[in-house]
Amino acid sequence: MFKKYPILKWILIVFSSIIVFLLVFGWWFMSLLPIEEMGTDLSITQTFDLPYLSEDIQPSRGKILAIVTSTATMGNTDKSTGYELTELSRAYYVFQANGFEVDIASPLGGEPPVVIDDDDMGKYDFAFLNDSIAQHKVKHTIPVKSINPDVYEAVFFAGGKGAMFDFPKNKAIQNIVRNLYQSNKVVGAVCHGPAALVNVTLDTGRPLLENKKVSSFTNNEELLLIPDAEEIFPFLLQDKLVAQGARFNEGATYLEHISYDKNLVTGQNPWSTWILAETMISALGYTPKHREITAEENAMKVLIAYEEGGTQKAKELIKQISTVENKPLARQLIAVHSVVAIMKGSIGRFFNLISLTSYAKSQSKNI
Lowest mean pLDDT among 23-32, 61-70, 243-252, 277-286: 23-32
- Write down the pLDDT at residue 342: 85
Distance CA(145)–CA(234), nearest Å, equals: 23
Q: Which of 258, 101, 136 is nearest to 188 (CA)?
A: 258
Mean pLDDT (the chain) is 90
DSSP assignments along 184-215, one per residue: T-EEEEETTGGGGGTT-B-TTSSBTTTT-EE-
pLDDT-based confidence at residue 343 (cuts at 50, 70, 90): confident
pLDDT-based confidence at residue 20 (cuts at 50, 70, 90): very low
pLDDT exceeds cutoff 80 at 42 = yes
Instruction: Give SS3 for 114.
Output: strand
In the chain, what is the straight-line distance between the N-terminal and C-terminal CA atoms, in Å? 49
135 vs 350, which has greater pLDDT? 135
pLDDT digits (tens, 9 = 90+) for 240-296: 999 999 999 999 999 999 999 999 999 999 999 999 999 999 999 999 999 999 999
Burial class (CB in 10 A: 0-12, 13-18, 19+), 52: middle
**DSSP 8-state code for residue 271:** G
- Write down the pLDDT at residue 177: 98
Distance CA(92)–CA(104), nearest Å, equals: 9
Alpha helices in the chain (DSSP H): 6-31, 35-38, 51-54, 85-97, 123-129, 132-139, 163-166, 171-182, 219-225, 229-232, 237-243, 273-283, 295-319, 331-343, 347-363
- Write down the pLDDT at residue 118: 85
Lowest mean pLDDT among 69-83, 170-184, 224-238, 331-345: 331-345
- Cα–Cα separations (whole angstroms), residue 187 to 177, 270, 360: 7, 17, 37
Distance CA(176)–CA(169), nearest Å, equals: 13
Stretch 107-128: mean pLDDT: 95
Q: Is the pTM of this model over 0.95?
A: no
- Domain architecture of the chain: domains with CATH: 7-40+294-363 (no CATH), 47-283 (3.40.50.880)
Cβ count near 44 (within 10 Å): 10
pLDDT digits (tens, 9 = 90+) for 97-112: 999 999 999 999 999 9
pLDDT digits (tens, 9 = 90+) for 139-176: 999 999 999 999 999 999 999 999 999 999 999 999 99
Stretch 58-85: mean pLDDT: 96
Amino acid 83 reads: Y
- Write down the pLDDT at residue 19: 52
pLDDT-based confidence at residue 41 (cuts at 50, 70, 90): confident
- With beta carbons less than 8 A apart as the criterion, state whether 337 and 330 touch: no
Cβ count near 312 (within 10 Å): 10
Lowest mean pLDDT among 28-37, 221-230, 263-272: 28-37
- Write down the pLDDT at residue 353: 93
Stretch 214-228: mean pLDDT: 96
- R_g over Cα of the chain: 23
pLDDT digits (tens, 9 = 90+) for 300-329: 999 999 999 999 999 999 999 999 999 999
